[in-house]
Amino acid sequence: MAKKIWSGRFLKKTNVDAENFTSSIDIDKNLYSYDIQGSIAHVEMLSKQKIISTAEKSKIVKGLKKIKDEIESNKFNFSHELEDIHMNIEDSLTKKIGSAGKKVHTARSRNDQVATDIKLYIKDIANSLKKDIIKLQKSILNKSNRNLDLIIPFYTHLQRAQPILVSHYLLAYFEMFLRDTERIDEAIKRLDQSPLGSCAGSGTSFNIDRGYTSKKLGFKEPTRNSIDSVSDRDYIIDSIYCCSVIMMHLSRFCEDLIIWNSSEFNFITLGDEFTTGSSIMPQKKNPDILELVRGKSGGVYGNLISILTNLKGLPLSYNRDLQEDKSPLFSSLETSMDCIRIFTKTFESIQFNEKHIKDGLDAGFLTATDIADYLAKNNVPFRKAHNITGKIVAYCEKNNKTLSSLSLKELKRFSSSIEKDIFNFISIERSVSSKKSYGGTSKNNVRKMIAKYKKILLK
Ligand code: ARG
């Protein structure tokens, strides 16, 4: 049975239920590599500052590396009695190298240690998440490039609005994911200060060099206030918020694809390998992956509320409540990463049902706004032009006609300003190519944007 590191002042052993209840090792063992990285930087600093000897430092570093190997080859025995990853590693170190191991915790507390571990974890994992988002963005660019001639309607209120290039639609998501990667960068920039050396919360009387450990661990600088360093977890909130926004964007994208995949829309076909069947209805091919991604976004939002609530009533500084910060953090980053990865594959498997989309473009009066614009360009005030066009639409509806099937004679009945050239405006293709305003859907614009996005991704 392991003797507790803090057992000095206790007369009785900890109750087993209490031990299991307070233990966090099942979750925080996830931090092992960052904990070891932090401890190595710490003892190198202690030795540089002559707080421990070079020989002691070497022994400790060797022992820590051995522990890392053991954990990675599944040979390490994690124990609940030793509470968390920090004490599991420290205990094993002392068992391995003897008394030098007992010096590793000089001028350090678990309070600054855990904050350092978490920040290192976030920097690492959030960067991987960013890379996964960039892969998705590349897929979006590829698909946009390959479908530059495909026109679809876009919707407002889920009612047919106007014709646009499908590429333009997809690139809207590119923009959202671009902001998501920027948000990750900003979150990382904000947490880029090393808490190590803040100790329990007041700093230390040892002559430590916090600048040295900060640099060793790849932080920009050390934190400036030891109490803040062990108390706050706003960087966890930032990270989960980043995940929440990513999941929200993904979820909307899923919803679009789910709708497009329905027989009612029939805009796309999803790859068989990324769909599932029904246990009773043999004809079904369900978009379960997309639905699960949409569903999992709720869990990530829940994590955000969980950490916000954990912190709201906590007096400074460290309180054990903070141990509950890890599970929402890990789960949010892992879920987001899983979702981005599987979504990318599913997205790559979609095929647009071009013929069906094209055949349906005449429905829904998609170029009504173009007619109103035509009239306005011929000196009819826009409000009036809107009204005239509304009447044309009503006429079509009543007589079961589409805008493009109207003759000049029929059109002229609604306004004397209408001439033959109106047919240029009624055509779906002309409508799209006329949207040349910056950020609009004309093919030229979209092509330029794709080039721009490619450059951004290369940066
Ligand atoms: N397992 C603890 C946590 O994750 C580590 C810090 C413990 N500090 C303490 N004063 N009990 O928060």
Which tokens belong to 172? 């809207």
Q: In this structure, which CATH number among 3.30.390.30, 3.40.920.10, 1.20.200.10, 1.10.10.10 belongs to the domain 114-148+166-177+187-204+230-356?
A: 1.20.200.10
Q: Which ligand 1 atom lies nearest to the CA of residue 326?
A: 4
What is the reported pLDDT for 316?
A: 97
Ligand 1 center–CA 217 separation, angstroms? 21
**What CATH topology corresponds to 368-458?**
Ribonucleotide Reductase Protein R1; domain 1 (1.10.40)
The ranges assigned to domains in the chain are: 14-106, 114-148+166-177+187-204+230-356, 368-458
CA distances, 318 to each of 1, 171, 202, 314 (Å): 28, 45, 11, 8
Return the active site residues: 157, 278
Distance CA 319, CA 332 (A): 22
Ligand 1 center–CA 4 separation, angstroms? 14
Of the pLDDT bands very low, low, confident and very high (cuts 50, 70, 90), residue 64 is very high
Are residues 80 and 23 in contact, defined by beta-carbon separation less than 8 angstroms?
yes
What is the reported pLDDT for 399?
A: 96
Ligand 1 center–CA 204 separation, angstroms? 18
Of the pLDDT bands very low, low, confident and very high (cuts 50, 70, 90), residue 126 is very high
Average pLDDT, stretch 94-113? 97
Using a 6 Å CB cutoff, which residues line ligand 1? 24, 28, 84, 110-111, 114, 318, 320, 322-323
pLDDT tens figures, 183-238? 999 999 999 999 999 999 999 999 999 999 999 999 999 999 999 999 999 999 99
What is the reported pLDDT for 132?
A: 98
Q: Which ligand 1 atom lies nearest to the CA of residue 83?
A: 1
Q: Whose CA is nearest to atom 4 of ligand 1?
A: 323
Q: Whose CA is nearest to atom 2 of ligand 1?
A: 323
Ligand 1 center–CA 23 separation, angstroms? 10
Average pLDDT, stretch 12-35? 95
Are residues 32 and 92 in contact, defined by beta-carbon separation less than 8 angstroms?
no
What is the reported pLDDT for 71?
A: 98
Of the pLDDT bands very low, low, confident and very high (cuts 50, 70, 90), residue 1 is low
Distance CA 371, CA 385 (A): 8
CA distances, 174 to each of 27, 141, 183, 239, 317 (Å): 34, 8, 14, 20, 41
What is the reported pLDDT for 2?
A: 65
Distance CA 278, CA 342 (A): 20
What is the reported pLDDT for 8?
A: 81
Of the pLDDT bands very low, low, confident and very high (cuts 50, 70, 90), residue 156 is very high
Out of 78, 114, 116, 329, mutate this one to test ligand 1's pocket (max ligand atoms within 8 Å of CB): namely 114
CA distances, 203 to each of 65, 108, 118, 200, 209 (Å): 27, 9, 19, 7, 12
Of the pLDDT bands very low, low, confident and very high (cuts 50, 70, 90), residue 6 is confident
Ligand 1 center–CA 326 separation, angstroms? 11
- Residue 156 is inside which H or E element, if any? strand 151-156
14-106 matches 368-458 in fold: no
What is the reported pLDDT for 14?
A: 86
Out of 108, 323, 330, mutate this one to test ligand 1's pocket (max ligand atoms within 8 Å of CB): namely 323
- Cβ partners under 8 Å of residue 446, min gap 6: 144, 148, 165, 167, 168, 171
pLDDT tens figures, 248-294? 999 999 999 999 999 999 999 999 998 888 787 778 789 999 999 99
Q: What CATH architecture applies to the domain 14-106?
A: Orthogonal Bundle (1.10)
Out of 39, 108, 110, mutate this one to test ligand 1's pocket (max ligand atoms within 8 Å of CB): namely 110
Average pLDDT, stretch 337-353? 98
Omega into 144 within 30° of 0, i.e. cis? no
